[in-house]
Amino acid sequence: MDVKKRKARQSVRAKLRSPGRPPVLHRAARWPFWQAIARGLSSEDAAALAGVSPAVGNRWFRQCGGMPPSHLVPSAPQPTGRYLSFSEREQIALARARGEGVREIARQLGRAASTISRELRRNAATRGGGLEYRAHTAQWHADRAARRPKAAKLLTNPTLRKYVQDRLAGNIATPGGRTIAGPQVQWNGRRHGRRQARRWSRAWSPQQIANRLQIDFPEDTSMRISHEAIYQALYVQGRGALQRELTACLRTGRALRMPRERVRGRGKSFVTPEIMISERPASVEDRAVPGHWEGDLILGLDSSAIGTLVERTTRFTMLLHLPPLPGHRQQQRDKHGPALAGHGAEAVRQAIARAMASMPKQLKKTLTWDQGAELAQHAQLSIDTGLQVYFCDPQSPWQRGTNENTNGLLRQYFPKGTDLSAHRASDLQAVALALNTRPRKTLGWRTPAEALNELLRSKGKCSVATTR
């Protein structure tokens, strides 16, 4: 075919509907980004590795619902170089601007001449009436032609979509059939806030919905869907089946899927294997020797907190006064400064050191804490007090059962949802005295103060616990 005729045919090609500016960053840039996400890195760090801005990385992560596209998952085959990359298309555009021929361009890129010829013919821009080759436009044409669209099952099956949506986000009702609307909560595009009202719905999990379909429709094979497909319909923009705001009906209320490796990497940097509870001496378990403590914080309104220390053998309790620092709720906290709420690492360390200063040496052996950041300065605390600090396993409160029980007793005086900063240090001393002078069944109806004094007298030491 004559070149002029070919150009004329291409120039009258039907105009394509433009979705906007052709993208610049394509699979070659997104591949290292999602590989970094799969390793547990944040969106900002993954964007830096991919050579894009943090804003672009956050946008990629949110648009995909925290899930990489199917061709960019870690198990997908890596790009083989079979297809032209964006950098190669830029070289083609520069070479054409210099007036170089097809064979010369092919020789420079190490490609077949037919590949270059086909690229110039298929992906050239025709908006100006001719065949003008631009790298951005050519890449856009190539990406558009490479798509393999597959309609979501929830889009093509309205009955299935209605079933899923009703079990997930349908209203709850009384046994008589009267609908209960529940709290009217506006979705803000993110996970629901802590201790806030949530939307009421039937709230079946995607796994419950997927398996219940087999019972409700045993003969209808069209009423089948995997729980993963439901999650993708909720999390991934552009699927078009379920609105993302329905993620508020999930038990977690999470608007984005959390990568598995990111969850695994949530461990605290200050917690090392040698100070885990598995390394704690076995003699601590039998409670025969005093001096082993358990500690934690009880939280209240406006980030207020009170520290608690409980001796394992005698159940003797000490309360730590943690008042808010000047400027709390009045100025923005410095990222690298102290926690203005008053229960930062330095404030907690100093409060424990003050409380332990009145204790004899034989009562300062170990301290077991959860993995809260308030004890990040545990190394300095060990130097100041002589306590060897150990940390519990994540989500294992039973490993500090004595302290958890004491915190439950303290809620009689400091209920949840109240401002704990309103209590003075003298108030905390009075509450601690009330607990330490209360008879305990586990101590043979003795009080913790009496049990501690008996232990100290048996060792020939003067008493430090008071019942006054």
Distance CA 136, CA 23 (A): 7
Distance CA 297, CA 392 (A): 14
pLDDT of residue 223: 93
Is residue 324 located within the same domain as residue 279? Answer: yes
Distance CA 170, CA 151 (A): 25
Is residue 467 in some structural domain? no
Is residue 292 located within the same domain as residue 419? Answer: yes
Residues 6 or more apart in contact with residue 90 via CB below 8 angstroms: 135
Task: Dig out the tokens for 128 from the structure.
Answer: 């100006």
Average of per-residue pLDDT across 263-287: 82
Is residue 187 located within the same domain as residue 79? Answer: no
Is the pLDDT assigned to residue 8 strictly greater than 70? no
Is residue 281 in some structural domain? yes
Is the pLDDT assigned to residue 63 strictly greater than 70? yes
- The domain that holds 421 is classified in CATH as 3.30.420.10
Residue 303 has what DSSP assignment?
G
Is residue 196 located within the same domain as residue 139? Answer: no
Mean pLDDT of the chain: 83
pLDDT of residue 462: 47
Within 13 Å, how many C-alpha atoms sit on residue 65's CB side? 23
| Higher-confidence position of 421 and 341 | 421
Reading across the β-sheet that carries 366-369, which strands appear in turn?
A: 317-322, 305-311, 292-299, 366-369, 388-391
468 pLDDT tier (thresholds 50, 70, 90) = very low
End-to-end CA distance of the chain: 107
9 pLDDT tier (thresholds 50, 70, 90) = low
Distance CA 172, CA 77 (A): 45
Q: Over the stretch 17-42, which tens digit does the pLDDT of each residue have? A: 554 555 555 666 788 888 888 888 88
What size, in residues, is the chain?
Answer: 468
Lowest mean pLDDT among 75-79, 248-252, 275-279: 75-79
The fraction of the chain above a pLDDT of 90, given in percent, is: 37
pLDDT of residue 296: 95
Q: Over the stretch 192-240, which tens digit does the pLDDT of each residue have? A: 766 677 888 888 999 999 999 999 999 999 999 999 888 888 888 666 6
Is residue 42 in some structural domain? yes
Is residue 57 in some structural domain? yes
Is residue 319 located within the same domain as residue 419? Answer: yes
Q: What are the distances in angstroms from CA 403 to CA 407, 424, 430, 446?
A: 6, 22, 19, 19
Residue span of the structural domain in which 78 resides: 3-146
Among 130, 146, 162, residue at a domain's last position: 146
Is residue 243 located within the same domain as residue 371? Answer: no
Is residue 316 located within the same domain as residue 388? Answer: yes
Is residue 202 located within the same domain as residue 122? Answer: no
Is residue 253 located within the same domain as residue 402? Answer: no
Among 146, 180, 199, residue at a domain's last position: 146
pLDDT of residue 102: 92
Is residue 365 located within the same domain as residue 247? Answer: no
Strand partners, 311: 293
Q: What are the distances in angstroms from CA 280 to CA 289, 390, 443?
A: 14, 7, 24
Is residue 99 located within the same domain as residue 139? Answer: yes
Is residue 307 located within the same domain as residue 253? Answer: no
Is residue 233 in some structural domain? yes
Is the pLDDT assigned to residue 141 strictly greater than 90? no
Strand partners, 440: 446
Domains in the chain: how many in total? 3
Note whether 56 and 47 are within 8 A (CB). yes
Is residue 127 in some structural domain? yes
Distance CA 450, CA 403 (A): 19
Among 146, 162, 187, residue at a domain's last position: 146
Is residue 244 in some structural domain? yes
b/e sequence 259-270, b meaning 16+ C-beta within 10 Å: beebeeeeeeee
Is residue 465 in some structural domain? no
